[in-house]
Amino acid sequence: MQKARIFLAIVTLCVICSIANAQGTDPCPSISVNGPSRIVPVGDIATYSVKVGEGSRIGDLAFEWATSDGIINRGQGTHEIDVIQPNAGITATVTVFGLTEGCPN
């Protein structure tokens, strides 16, 4: 009986979240990071950008980028950076500041 109650509580919570998302009342926007759509030659510029979904304006947010390799050439603190492509694979990550408290950033 306990398992059934827990399952029902989870299903109810998921339905409530789905309704909130459909009605646009979820305070947490989606976040996506986009990078080059091609292989970038060593030494060329690779551009990465972050898109924050509905409910947040880019101008109200701050961004902190990090890369696993390469040099951020332009854009630290903005929604888009240019990185000088290193002689290796690269991972670019961004932390978004200014979202509603409790939202993943």
**Joined tokens for residue 86:** 């290193």
What is the structure's pLDDT at 27?
75
User: What backbone phi and psi angles, to 5 degrees, belong to 72?
Assistant: -75, 115
What is the structure's pLDDT at 13?
34
> What tens digit of pLDDT does each residue of 32-91 get?
999 999 999 999 999 999 999 875 676 789 999 999 998 999 999 999 999 999 998 888
- C-alpha span between 68 and 45 (Å, rounded): 15
Residue type at 55 in one-letter notation: G
What is the structure's pLDDT at 71?
93
Top pLDDT among 20 and 32 is at 32
What is the structure's pLDDT at 101?
85
- C-alpha span between 20 and 64 (Å, rounded): 29
Q: Which single residue is written with the structure tokens 């919570």?
A: 13
Residue 96 has pLDDT above 90, yes or no: yes
